[in-house]
Amino acid sequence: MSTLTTPHIDIHRGGDRMKTRVSWLDSKHSFSFGEHYDPENTHHGLLLVNNEDIVLPGQGFDTHPHRDMEIVTWVLGGSLVHQDSLGHSGVIYPGLAQRMSAGTGILHSEKNDSWRLDDSAEHQEPVHFVQMWVVPDEPGLTPGYQQLEIDDELAGGGLVTVASGLPRYRERAAIAINSSHSALHVARMPGAEPGAAPQVIDLPDAPYLHLFVARGEVEMEGVGPLYEGDAVRLTRSGGQRITAHGPAEILVWEMHARLGGQ
């Protein structure tokens, strides 16, 4: 069992993230990634990667390998073309839940092909997305791919279970992941109408939670304002209220185990 038995809240501001910037890519890393390594910041719970990427039109990640990882990609703006060695090919866009299980090994590429999809200049835009990696239950699983459009569910403004391996969410999760201790929830909060009460949602209770503000600004009970790019890591906590006065989008990982054991 984890030695962390008392509630703990750790706030990470968006501006403090490690960054990779080249001519075609602006990438911000919540955890150690690639050449950016901090031994004190490698994961939270079972979440190893939370990268926020912006890729210019006609550019992207060439074919590269992955192994033994559950990879969930959430697009915030634009569109991302996915191709992999299993023969899957498709366009990921806002409101589409997508998961790739790397398992014993898979090759894939991710490109902003807006210039191919529509040759008119006004439709050539950067693609903005968050890619998240969680550890599967066991190594050596069969690679796989799954996607589902959930735009209608998100329109309600509450927490929507996007990806899950937790049994409690089996019936309502949009897509499945091979991690029986993890679930990703997303809320696309429209904010309050003028003169109306602000929109409020409650975080789930879990040994480990990771809240990421993908868009806008929210207030977290006991913490205060959180801005775009900010993240909060919660241990032995949960149930806090998240309030949005204006449009906002949050990504919440609920995890009931951590890397190296429960």
35 is in an annotated binding site: no
128 is in an annotated binding site: no
| Inter-residue contact 189 to 218 (CB < 8 Å) | yes
Strands of the 127-134 sheet, one edge to the other: 18-21, 25-29, 47-55, 127-134, 70-77, 96-101, 144-149
Helix (H) or strand (E) holding 115: helix 114-117
What's the rounded Cα separation, in Å, for the pair 219 and 251?
14
- Ramachandran angles phi, psi of 95, nearest 5°: 90, 0
185 is in an annotated binding site: no
What's the rounded Cα separation, in Å, for the pair 33 and 60?
17
108 is in an annotated binding site: yes
Tokens, residue 55: 């890729």
| Inter-residue contact 128 to 97 (CB < 8 Å) | no
Binding-site residues, please?
64, 66, 108, 110
Which residues carry a binding-site annotation for Fe cation? Answer: 64, 66, 108, 110
